[in-house]
Chain A
Amino acid sequence: MRYSLAVPALVAAAACTIAKGPVPAGSRTATAPPPAIRYEQHIAVDGLEPPATEMTNPYAGDAKSAEEGGKLFTSMNCDGCHGGGATGFMGPSLSDGRWKYGGTDGAVFQSIYYGRPMGMPAFGGTLQPVIVWKLVTYLRSLPVPAAVPTQSWQ
């Protein structure tokens, strides 16, 4: 119940951002939200990201949410790019403790919700913020192995 206030507030903020942002021609309709939107075209109002640090994960540290997020990671086909267990495939590993765009809950939320350059689609039009937060909670719950491969430059 402690999440009931945070989640609607977030939905409102996100909806507001999307409504004001530039809309790529022909790709965004109410019935078929496209995950593949150009990052720079939709990142935020006036080209500024919402401040990640001010976003609060309503499920932070919640084991049950992390478990649900793990199932979502597979069922939403995140593993198709990032690999089973988020260990990396054509997309980067999300379990090696390295974050190109920041590893705070808020930054990871934004990566999923708004997409990132070099191919990460924006799932904000497809996934509800509550779902995105569960994915964030799952990823943040993954233990970073003691030894990880040398960082890829890609």
Chain B
Amino acid sequence: MPSRLAARTAVRAVFAAAFALGALPAHAQTREDGQWTMPGKDYAATRYSGLNTITPANAGRLKPVWTFSTGVLRGHEGQPLVVGSTMYVVTPWPDVLYAFDLTKEGFPLRWKYRPDVDQAALGMACCDAINRGAFYAQGKVVYNTLDGHTIAVDAKTGREVWNVKVGDVSNGETMPMAPMIAGNRVIVGPSGGEYGIRGWTKALDLATGAPAWTGYNVGPDAEVLARPGTFKAFYDQGKDLALRSWPADAWKKAGAPVWGWLSYDPALDLVYFGVGNPGPYNPEQRAGDNKWTNSVLARRPGDGSLIWAYQFTPNDNWDYDSNAEMILADLTIKGVKRKTLVHFDKNGFAYTMDRTTGEVLLAEKYVFANWARSIDLKTGRPVLDTTKQTGASRGTINYICPSLEGGKSPASPAAYSPQTGLFYLATVNMCMNYATEKTTRLRGTPYIGATTPYTVGPGGNMGAFVAWDATTGHRVWEIKEKFPVWSGAVATAGNVVFYGTLDGWFRAADARTGKVLWSFKVGSGVVAAPITFKGPDGKQYVAVYSGIGGDWALLSGDTRSDDPKDVRDPADYAKELGRHTSQGGMVWVFGL
């Protein structure tokens, strides 16, 4: 661990003692400076801001103070950054980076960076041509482009510092995820779980972009960087776990993408990230656990060493990617204060884990889930309902919950408030029928082989915004929404939480009770993650993108309103969604 980081951690530990902020890990505790410099707000990915001017008492008076059209119709995921007096916005493909001056009326443009992005990537992106945002460190704004480049741009001037091709688009690797910068390492990973890639994370040097290491998620120990004496999984023993849990050669087209959010514990010097689904969707073509797909991995950022790994869904039968964020919090579990990691998996279970070892301390369903009864904490494995197992020889398996959109989408990151001790997340209440068939991998084409129509889950509401207690594994409150909720969340010290809906409502709720305090109809559905920041004028603002897309690109509305039969095929379970929202990206800033 670089000494500079150690020093900073020590300083933060002092703040922690002084302000007794509660259950945040030491490295996440810092005096609130009102900025938002990285996707998850802090290394712990809490998406919690210490700003407290907006409260349940005054949130009803929020109004828009600024908007900006990105001119892009694709799904606007991710979040802006605010560093000093500048706001940075990354658009979906063509991945334009804007810098706006927050000190002047109308937030005029400081500069605009326009990369040359290979449009061949559009045909290799499974789920719309999205981008999940940038990371600021040491004077650079660093982000990825859909065609597999990582780019560092000078935060002041907008000049390109370096531009490195990391992913191979012709092999199905696209790169919409937001990087993590830990010390001097920029860590990135590819999408392509639907294209038979073999997923990895790569680290680049922050100063130069020079490659430092590549750690595969699947394959022999030497390529997974599982080194003797360094790697220890809590539930698994033996060599080459990520090789022996696959049939011969299937691991070479494993999938195992890294398209979600990363977090970092500087004290343990571990970077945490989730790994996505194995390919193809037919599990009979890949007998075995298929490690480390659908897993959380803990790596040392310096040399990439794998320290521990845990698999949420062995031999994934349902496309339950585990790319959702790993939120780091220090929680008291059964009377003992633990360094924990909290993860809401697509598979419908919320996991509270020991982040030093990978032990599962608690795993409970946070949405309706019927593929497994429970998680056995002794073995770490799910207790399956065998009637929900899929495969080419099994025909269509009906009513599997959650659907492959997940009980919560990994695209919509949760927030954690140390003030309430609760986690806030958008949930999806959908089920699916799953039919799969044998398929062949052709380089650069989809490697899926499944048909998975959706149905609405029990209760009839397709989504909700939920407050979750990860120390006991239960839901504290929920706000039901008609459509799946696909936005990220932000929690604030003012006890107000924010989220958006697919039909274009941006809402503030009381973090303690779940009472909706304020709603504003933005221009399109929200699939982004809101942030909050302190402007140069000292006031607290909230920013979010609107612009439906991502998995919902097909369902948004460009059909007729006067013809009930005018519905695109995949939208037939949510016909009305298309009538409530249309595409188009905008940045919104709200204030009192």
B559 an interface residue at 8 Å Cβ cutoff? yes
Which chain A residue shows the least CB distance to B446? A80
User: Is the C-beta of A103 less than 8 angstroms from some C-beta in chain B?
Assistant: no
Chain B residue at smallest Cβ distance from A87:
B569
On whether A80 and B568 interact (CB within 8 A), knowing A38-B120, A75-B439, the answer reads no
Please name the residue on chain A nearest to B565 by beta carbon.
A147
Contact A119 B122, beta carbon cutoff 8 Å: yes
Interface positions, chain A 104-137, Cβ under 8 Å from B, are 115, 117-121, 126
A34–B444 contact, CB under 8 A? yes
Verify if A35 is at the interface (C-beta below 8 Å from B): yes
Whether a CB of chain B sits under 8 angstroms from the CB of A150 is yes
- Tell me whether A84 is interfacial, beta carbon within 8 Å: yes
* Interface of chain A residues 80 through 103 with chain B (CB within 8 A): 80-81, 83-84, 87-91
Query: Closest residue to A149 on the B side, CB-wise?
Result: B568
Say yes or no: B170 contacts A34, CB within 8 Å.
Answer: yes
Contact B560 A154 (CB under 8 A): no
Quick check: B440 and A75 within 8 Å, CB to CB? Answer: yes
A152–B128 contact, CB under 8 A?
A: no
Q: Are B123's CB and A150's CB within 8 A?
A: no
Contact B559–A150 (Cβ < 8 Å) = yes
Instruction: From B120, B170, B565, B570, name the one whose CB has the most chain A CB atoms within 10 angstroms.
Output: B120
Residues of B within 8 A of A118 (CB): 119, 122-123
Q: Is the CB of B568 within 8 A of A88?
A: yes
Known: A36-B123, A36-B124. A27 touches B565 (CB 8 A): no
Q: Which residues of chain A from 42 to 101 have a CB within 8 Å of any chain B CB?
A: 74-81, 83-84, 87-91
When the two chains form their complex, are residues B559 and A119 in contact, meaning their CB atoms are under 8 A apart?
no
Are the CB atoms of A149 and B567 closer together than 8 Å? Answer: yes
Closest to B127 in A: A90
| Chain B residues, CB < 8 A from A154 | 73, 553
- A121: B residues at CB distance < 8 A: 120, 123-124, 444-445
Interface of A is mostly: loop
The answer, among A77, A81, A153, for a CB contact under 8 Å with B439, is: A77
Q: How many residues of chain B have a CB within 8 Å of chain A?
A: 37
Q: Which of A32, A77, A88, A150 contacts B558 (CB 8 A)?
A: A150
| Most chain B CB inside 10 Å of its own CB: which residue of A36, A39, A75, A84 | A36
The total number of A-B Cβ pairs within 8 Å is: 96
Given contacts A149-B566, A149-B568, A150-B559, A77 and B120 within 8 Å (CB-CB) = no
Residues of chain A lying within 8 A (CB to CB) of residue B554: 88-90
Residues of B within 8 A of A139 (CB): none
Residues of B within 8 A of A80 (CB): 194, 445-448
Residue of chain A at shortest CB distance from B442: A77
Nearest opposing residue in chain A for B571, CB measure? A149
Contacts of A76 in B (CB 8 A): 442, 445
Query: What's the Cα separation between A75 and B446 when bound, in Å?
Result: 10
Which residues B508-561 have CB closer than 8 A to chain A?
553-554, 558-560
Query: Known contacts A149-B559, A150-B558: does B445 contact A90 (CB below 8 Å)?
Result: no
Please tell me if B385 contacts chain A, counting CB pairs below 8 Å.
no
A83→B119 contact, CB < 8 A: no
CB of B267, distance to nearest CB on chain A (Å): 42
State whether B169 touches A77 (Cβ < 8 A): no
Known: A36-B169, A115-B123. 15 other contacts (CB 8 A): A35-B444, A39-B119, A74-B439, A77-B447, A80-B194, A81-B446, A87-B569, A90-B125, A118-B119, A118-B122, A118-B123, A119-B119, A126-B442, A147-B565, A149-B559
A interface residues with partner B (beta carbon < 8 Å)? 27, 32, 34-39, 74-81, 83-84, 87-91, 115, 117-121, 126, 147, 149-150, 152-154
Selected A-B contacts with CB under 8 Å, 10 pairs: A27-B170, A34-B170, A77-B445, A77-B446, A78-B445, A80-B194, A90-B125, A90-B554, A119-B123, A150-B566
- Listed in ascending order, the chain B residues whose CB lies under 8 Å from chain A are 73, 118-128, 169-170, 194, 437, 439-440, 442-448, 451, 553-554, 558-560, 565-570
